[in-house]
Amino acid sequence: MSKVRFEKTSKYDHKVSIAIVGAGAAGLVAALAAKDNGVDVMVFERDNVPSGSTALSSGFIPACNTRWQSAIASIDTVDIFVDDIQRKNKNQSDRRFVRNVCSVSADVLHWLVDKHEQEFILLDQFLYPGHTTHRMHAHPSRTGSALINSLLEAVERAGVDVVCSAQVEDLFAREDGTIHGLSIKRPDGIVERVGCDAVIFACNGFGGNRIMIDEFIPEMSDSLYFGHAGNKGDSVSWAKQLGASLVQMGSYQGHGSVATPHGVLITWAIIMEGGIQLNSDGVRFSNETEGYSEQALNVLKQPEGIAWNVFDERLHNLGLDFEDYRRAEEAGAIRIANSVASIADIIGAPVDTIKKSLEEIDNFSKGNLSCPFGRIFEDKKKLQGPPFYLVKVTGALFHTQGGILVDNQARVMRSDGSKLPNVFASGGAAVGVSGTGVDGYLSGNGLLTAVTLGYLAGCFAGEQAKKS
Ligand SMILES: Cc1cc2nc3c(=O)[nH]c(=O)nc-3n(C[C@H](O)[C@H](O)[C@H](O)COP(=O)(O)OP(=O)(O)OC[C@H]3O[C@@H](n4cnc5c(N)ncnc54)[C@H](O)[C@@H]3O)c2cc1C
């Protein structure tokens, strides 16, 4: 149980300037930024090998005004990026906060490359839903595991200690909320105490805590959680005890395309480039291009909580560019239908219904009919089959987006508007930029606040620790 113990002083086994809780993208970026400030940093990670949701992710980081965008003459500005995020969350997020993270997004990626030997490419094959321009950056291998491994190499080069198998349990605080240390529990039950001048919460949200999900996001109580199991909401517990402000707690990223029962993410690029979703009756039920996050709920509302992604050879080949998709293929999740009758057979729906659904798409693409859900079908992206490809998918909870309110330096705010003296929050531990529910999540919002708030927290905690 994560507690805050209010004790004036404590005896510590070790001492460090900045203690960071969690070694995902947020924690590792924060560590690099703090270390660049010349201060002592330790990252505590509950797992024996750091991975977090970052390793499970596709590792796509949105940023504007970057050198990779300039190289392809893609025009993107802070204003355009902020507008895209705010349009998606229906202006439910604080525009100044959104602007703050977008404003540093390019600097953070450039700094990671120039100072810490990271590599990024710009993904310019297709536009993710809601983005008006290409701004997804990724490690060349386009996986979250490559991103985390590359960041781990950088923190090692920088001389940061990442202490694994070290679950942070208790924080020790003075009455004014100043944290002066924490305790870590080892797998063998041994507890060590570490003194610190500042602490950064980078332990993500509460997706792995069913009780908190029941409390804050009851609509996903029974759904599959697809994020890192170790994200138990410790920052939420500490925040409550410290009087910190927790906001937009019902906000989360869902995903409507997880192959079932295989449990592999099927890239949404396939849907954006022309694929469709049919339910087990063989009918479409939504505008699939609104976003994959809200599609989680749309899919879960269908019979048995499942849908079928239906696409063609061109889109299958596009999918093969993604490691997850290749894994899904290996696992037998991708089914091939050589006729409309075969689609009906696989789905278990009447052949006439499937035929009608496909004919409708054809008419939407030619402009003869309008999609009742508002999706615009482009003729050049029209499904061309047989063969058709099918994957049975379900909706899942990926990660929570509500969390601790922070200021423009990633400092933790109290409910009364004051700041805690030496506590910072980043990534999924802090509130995101996705509004209040499932439909405000613009692709990439997760890693956007992981790397930008991680960077800001590391810089400002570093400055503060240097002074103290
Ligand atoms: C399948 C999937 C795909 C995704 N794809 C993308 C994408 O392409 N782009 C994007 O922007 N976002 C994506 N996301 C979301 C993204 O992964 C997260 O927003 C991001 O990784 C959060 O980073 P983080 O550092 O805050 O958390 P994490 O990477 O989860 O790291 C938190 C770490 O804290 C540790 N921890 C927790 N509690 C404690 C404790 N008490 N003591 C010590 N350690 C603790 C955990 O073990 C974990 O290692 C995806 C998510 C999923 C699940």
DSSP string, 116-148: H----EE--SSPPTT-SS--EEE-TT--HHHHH
User: Phi and psi dihedrals of 277, rounded to 5?
Assistant: -120, 130
Query: Which of 4, 145, 162, 204 most suits a substitution to test ligand 1, by most atoms within 8 Å of the C-beta?
Result: 204
pLDDT in tens, 300-312: 999 999 999 999 9
Selected from 3.50.50.60, 3.90.199.10, 3.40.50.1370, 2.60.40.10, the CATH number assigned to the domain covering 3-250+401-467 reads 3.50.50.60
pTM for the full predicted model: 0.94
pLDDT band at 349 (very low <50, low <70, confident <90, very high): very high
pLDDT in tens, 48-71: 999 999 999 999 999 999 999 999
202 CB within 6 A, ligand 1? yes
Mean pLDDT over 110-117 rounds to 98
243 burial level (CB within 10 Å; 0-12, 13-18, 19+):
middle
Q: Which residue has the tokens 């970057």?
A: 66
278 CB within 6 A, ligand 1? no
136 CB within 6 A, ligand 1? no
Please give the structure tokens belonging to residue 37.
């400030």
pLDDT above 80 (res 244): yes
Nearest CA to ligand 1 atom 51: 57
- Residue boundaries of the structural domains of the chain: 3-250+401-467, 252-397
Mean pLDDT over 189-199 rounds to 97
The domain at 252-397 falls in which architecture? Answer: Alpha-Beta Complex (3.90)
pLDDT in tens, 125-139: 888 889 999 999 999
* pLDDT computed for residue 94 by the predictor: 98
For the chain, the first-to-last Cα distance in angstroms comes to 30
* pLDDT computed for residue 333 by the predictor: 98
pLDDT in tens, 259-292: 999 999 999 999 999 999 999 999 999 999 999 9
The mean predicted confidence, pLDDT, of the chain is 96
444 CB within 6 A, ligand 1? yes
230 CB within 6 A, ligand 1? yes
* pLDDT computed for residue 128 by the predictor: 86
CA of 252 to the centre of ligand 1 (A): 13
Q: What contacts 458, CB < 8 A, 6 or more positions away?
A: 18, 29, 30, 31, 32, 33, 34, 35, 36, 37, 41, 200
Q: What is the dihedral of CA 68, 74, 76, 81, to 10 degrees?
A: -80
**Which helix (H) or strand (E) is 419 found in, with range?**
strand 419-425
Mean pLDDT over 437-441 rounds to 96
Q: Are 154 and 117 in contact (CB under 8 A)?
A: yes
Query: Which of 1, 2, 57, 185 most suits a substitution to test ligand 1, by most atoms within 8 Å of the C-beta?
Result: 57
